[in-house]
Amino acid sequence: MIAEAGLAALWLAAAMAGLQLLLAANVVYSAREEMVRAIRPVAIAQGFLVALAMLCLILVFAKSDMSVKLVVENSHSAKPMLYKLAGAWGNHEGSMLLWVTILGIAGAAVAVFERRLDQRTLSATIGAQALIAVGFYAFLLIASNPFARVFPAPADGEGLNPLLQDPGLAFHPPTLYIGYVGISVAFSFAVGALVTREVGPAFARAMRPWVLGAWVFLTLGITAGSYWAYYELGWGGWWFWDPVENASLMPWLAATALLHSVSVLATRDGLRAWTIMLAVVAFSMSMIGTFLVRSGILTSVHAFAVDPERGAFILALLAIYIGGALALFAMRVGTVRQGNVFAPLSREGALVVNNLLLSVILGIVLIGTLYPIVAAGFGVHLSVGKPFFDKTTGPIALGLVVFMAAGPLLRWRRDQANALLKRMTWPVAGFGVALIVLVPFAWGIGVLPLAGLALAAGLAVASIAPLWGRNLRRTPLFTWGMVIAHLGIAVSLAGMASDSAFTKETLVVARIGEPHAVGPYWVRLKGLRPVIGPNWSAIAADLSVTRGEGGAPFILSPQARYFSDPPTSTNESAIATRLDGQLYTVLGQPDPSGGYQLRLWWKPFVTFIWLGGAMVALGGMLSLIGRVRRGRVRVVEDYYA
């Protein structure tokens, strides 16, 4: 009955989305008061019903209901409860339902909380959100029913991909989906403003919290996903330029450009057309990512579906939504008035350059991701990997860091070159000192890592420069957010450059008692022992580790695991984290000579990569809270004015 209740809730939610769309169209073209009053409750009802459907799916997974086909294919009664619950969205149908659930809840939140836009623009926005939802409800109900039954019900399920049986599955997909859906809300605001020709600061102020929220969750999702892949896959890397990784990076790049553009429109009434276009591009990247992981054209732990028909369905939705939005933009761009003008040497000018560089990186990643797929369609098989992306995006990203350092030190509207040079004295000094220190001691690490480390130092100094001379207790929260986010980029850049420049790797056949050196550590295999888990068995290697010859020993125990449902072998890395880096160990296969393969990495300051990502997300969250607080104060002031 739970499955039937979930399916019924899903059908009702789809009906509510259709009704929401009709009401919104009526409000936009007739402005009837009763329709205005009805649209908000309908949007809330849709959000409630789709959330109920998602809850029903989680319950059938928690109960291991083997009469539901999705549970049979993606769960097993012996799995720990956490993975049973997370397994609800660890597959194509469940993840799609989660996507639509967040979409419905976001639409309801817009209906409940948004009070600054006029009724026609708000209704057009809610209508655009309903139009997106209708397409995805149709996709779920026609091609991807998560509540389909199987008869007769098997005794047990086939299990979940062991690589997904990790606490990361409980957090990584939901945070990414919230980010994707937040971008869809920004897209809906853009469409709504185009429909009613109300592209201006009011629309930007309404859209900005959603862009900020989406950007924060995308940052968290990408950061968490990077660390999850780093420790779970046992390959010692943090970013592989996998097409599905790129699918999450592209919306983040577009959302970063949109975030800065919408801030200029909200506060300085500039970049109107640019803001609309970026909202469309950001959602396009989100849709392309959805298409890549569900079309069956990629083989990856992230790829949920292998059915080209489903991919064709999503491709059709992408064409309708993005093609329609671009057509609307082409028809209405003549009505988008020019905003306030600004000099090239100004904060707005630096933001425009930043956005252009972000767009260039986005274009390179998009081409590098899609080119092998398109070529395969013509029978040409090739791969575009890390060397291409590093060499093409690396120098542009470092140029971006230069403008990121200068931007917050520039005046709005117009500035003077001499004044800017004076303000840049300390950041340039930070860059110079880092370069002087690094060149003698780290000569030969490569141009990009050297430039990355030096620029990270300069950016770190520039990031805190906006706080100089301020009363820190009276500094607005969103200013703190900007400072922490930019400082996070500097920290993350330092971690990436350090990992690229100083990582040491050792691959050995380890025998009991033999010492092996990697970086400042000595590693000895003490012994091997069997380990039994809830739904797996393993061989664990106990490694005695010392820092230098005389350091205090400690134990690391990497494992080679075997899962029976489904039959899969995995490596469980063991990592020692210290202030200056991580020692990363992986147990491989037994060797005919009687030893075991052992891979060891010493990765100096690699943790800075994820620490910086967390700081960027924290900065975004502080900015969001600061902006929302200021918005509420303005609403109250306007009410009593």
- H/E stretch holding 576: strand 574-578
Q: Which residues make Cβ contacts (< 8 Å) with residue 253, sequence separation at least 6?
A: 285, 358, 359, 361, 362, 365
- CA dihedral for 625, 626, 627, 633, sign (positive or negative): positive
CA nearest neighbour of 93 among 299, 310, 267: 310
DSSP string, 213-263: HHHHHHHHHHHHHHHHHHHHS-SS-S----HHHHHHHHHHHHHHHHHHHHH
pLDDT at position 333 over 80: no
pLDDT score, position 518: 94
150-208 residue pLDDT tens: 888 888 777 767 766 777 767 777 888 888 888 989 999 999 999 888 888 888 888 99
Q: Is the pLDDT assigned to residue 476 strictly greater than 60?
A: yes
**What is the model's pLDDT at position 45?**
95
Q: Report whether pLDDT(300) > 60.
A: no
In the chain, the percentage of residues whose pLDDT exceeds 90 is 49
CB–CB of 100/88 below 8 Å?
no
521 phi, psi to nearest 5 deg = -105, 150
pLDDT tier, 641 (very low <50, low <70, confident <90, very high otherwise): low
pLDDT at 304: 56
Angle between helices 119-138 and 2-30 (to 10 degrees): 140
**Mean pLDDT on 507-522:** 92
Mean pLDDT of 402-423: 91
Confidence of residue 579 (pLDDT cuts 50, 70, 90): very high
- Tokens read off for 291: 């298409």
pTM above 0.75, yes or no: yes
Q: How far apart are CA 555 and CA 545, in angstroms?
A: 6
